[in-house]
C-alpha cells in the first residue's frame, strides 16, 4: 500500500515537472517578447540560410540595484568577454531597481560561471545577481 502511494506521488511530481526550474529547457521563454527559440524566432523557409554561425546561444539575466547605472559597466565587460551580445529587455520599478536581459553568443572556451563572477565583481555596487541560461 505504501509503495502504491509513493509511486502515485512520484508520478504526480514527474507529470507536473516539479523541481525542474530552468534546467533542461531552452532559455527563450525568459524573454517576454519571444515565443520561439532564442535566434530568429522562426524556422527558416525556402531560399533562406539554415542557421547563421554567430547566432545567440544564451541569455544572461542581471539583477541590479540601479539598472541604468549598471548597464554601461555590463556592456563594457560583455564586449570584452563574449563575441556578440544585444540588450533584449530592461525591467525596472519606480526606484530604479531592475533586471537586464541580454542575448549573448557564448563561446565554448568561455565558462558561464567565470562570466557570472566577473560581472558580480566588476559591477559590484550596482549588480547584485547574475545568471546565465
Given a cut of 50, is residue 105 above it in pLDDT? yes
| Residue among 122, 123, 115, 116 at smallest CA distance from 70 | 123
Q: Give every CB contact of residue 11 below 8 A, 6+ residues apart in sequence.
A: none
- Taken in order of first residue, the domains within the chain and their CATH numbers are 27-132 (3.30.70)
pLDDT recorded at residue 39? 46
Q: What is the mean pLDDT of the chain?
A: 78
- Note if the pTM is more than 0.85: no
Tell me the DSSP string of 60-95.
Answer: EEEEESSHHHHHHHHHHHHHHH-SEEEEEEEEE-TT
Asked if 105 and 57 count as a contact pair (C-beta separation under 8 A), the reply is yes
Per-residue confidence band for 1, with pLDDT thresholds at 50, 70 and 90? confident
Q: How far apart are CA 11 and CA 97, in angstroms?
A: 40
Over the stretch 73-97, which tens digit does the pLDDT of each residue have? 999 999 988 889 999 999 888 887 8
Amino acid at each position: 500500500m505504501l509503495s502504491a502511494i509513493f509511486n502515485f506521488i512520484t508520478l504526480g511530481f514527474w507529470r507536473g515537472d516539479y523541481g525542474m526550474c530552468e534546467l533542461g529547457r531552452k532559455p527563450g521563454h525568459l524573454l517576454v517578447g519571444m515565443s520561439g527559440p532564442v535566434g530568429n524566432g522562426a524556422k527558416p523557409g525556402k531560399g533562406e540560410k539554415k542557421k547563421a554561425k554567430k547566432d545567440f546561444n544564451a541569455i544572461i539575466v542581471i539583477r541590479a540595484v540601479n539598472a541604468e547605472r549598471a548597464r554601461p559597466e555590463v556592456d563594457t565587460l560583455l564586449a570584452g568577454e563574449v563575441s556578440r551580445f544585444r540588450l533584449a529587455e530592461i525591467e525596472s520599478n519606480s526606484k530604479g531597481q531592475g533586471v537586464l536581459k541580454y542575448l549573448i553568443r557564448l563561446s565554448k572556451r568561455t565558462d558561464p560561471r567565470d562570466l557570472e563572477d566577473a560581472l558580480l565583481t566588476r559591477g559590484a555596487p550596482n549588480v547584485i545577481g547574475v545568471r546565465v541560461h
